[in-house]
Amino acid sequence: RTFHGHPRLLSSDVYSQYESIRQGKQEIPKYFNFAGDVLDKWSDIEKAGKRPSNPAFWWINGEGEEVKWSFEELGFLSRKVANVLTKECGLQKGDRLILILPRIPEWWLVKVACIRAGIVIIPGTSQLSAKDILYRLQASKATCIITTDNLAPAVDSVASQCQHLKTKLMVSKGSREGWLNFTEL
């Protein structure tokens, strides 16, 4: 199909792969993991020189600060974060993690890392109160929470009432007692 004379805009490699699966020409995988089955495949294609290195992730904040990662870089960084979550934080496949961050690059890294490691992600807005955080921690039985130094005091005020919470990770330049520093790890 074409879109205003541009044939590539509505057809892609992903669409053609879907068509081959639909027609029974390609086997549907028993288990699918976006990080390994999509992100790592694009990374391999870039490494092999079959496609130029394009940004997989491009973030710009209000002050013009920019972060741009290729598929290879995003894959590498997400594997590092997955290792932090599984080794340093002791999380395993199926464990629950509450993620309360603004949309900063670390938000996407944690999301992809959780997908890679099979960790269940429970997102939350940074406007949550201590009462909201308490409810989510208790209802989900999350064993880990990742947030910023702004919400760390609210988490600390309710953490004693959350028997399943084992690890608190803070995305910050500073440190706080009882918290692991995401950037340092």
User: Does residue 7 have a pLDDT over 60?
Assistant: no
- How buried is residue 89: exposed, middle or buried, by Cβ count under 10 Å (0-12/13-18/19+)? buried
Closest to 75 in 3D by CA, of 83, 64, 86 = 83
Please, what is the average pLDDT of the chain? Answer: 87
pLDDT at residue number 35? 87
Which CATH number belongs to the domain containing residue 160 in this structure? Answer: 3.40.50.980
DSSP 6: B
Question: Measured between alpha carbons, how far is residue 10 from residues 6, 86, 173 in Å?
Answer: 8, 39, 43
| Residue 49 or residue 66, greater confidence | 66
Choose the weakest-confidence range: 9-18, 48-57, 103-112, 161-170: 9-18
In this predicted structure, the answer to whether residue 95 has a pLDDT above a threshold of 60 is yes
Bigger pLDDT: 121 vs 50:
121
Question: Does 102 fall in a domain?
Answer: yes
Distances (CA, A) of 161 to 39, 108, 136: 38, 29, 12
Residue 30 lies in a domain: no
pLDDT at 2: 46
Domain annotation covers residue 5: no
Total Cβ atoms within 10 A of residue 41: 12
Lowest mean pLDDT among 9-13, 77-81, 97-101: 9-13
Q: Model confidence at 21, in pLDDT bands (50, 70, 90)?
A: low
Is the per-residue pLDDT at 10 higher than 90?
no
Residue 64 maps to a domain: yes
Whether residue 110 lies inside any domain: the answer is yes
Residue-wise pLDDT tens digits, 124-160: 999 999 999 999 999 999 999 999 999 999 999 999 9
**CB neighbour list of residue 148: distance below 8 Å, 6 or more residues apart:** 100, 101, 102, 126, 170, 171, 172
Decide if 20 is inside a domain.
no
Entry pTM: 0.81
Kindly state whether residue 76 falls inside one of the protein's structural domains: yes
Domain hosting residue 107, numbered range: 57-184
The half-sphere exposure of 115 on its side-chain side, counting CA atoms within 13 A, is 17
Domain count, the chain: 1
Could you give the 3-state DSSP secondary structure of residue 184? coil
- Answer yes or no: is 43 within a domain: no
Give CA–CA dist 174/125, Å, rounded. Answer: 21
Structural tokens at position 93: 């496949």
Q: Where are the alpha helices (DSSP H) in the chain?
A: 13-22, 34, 40-47, 71-83, 105-117, 130-140, 152-158
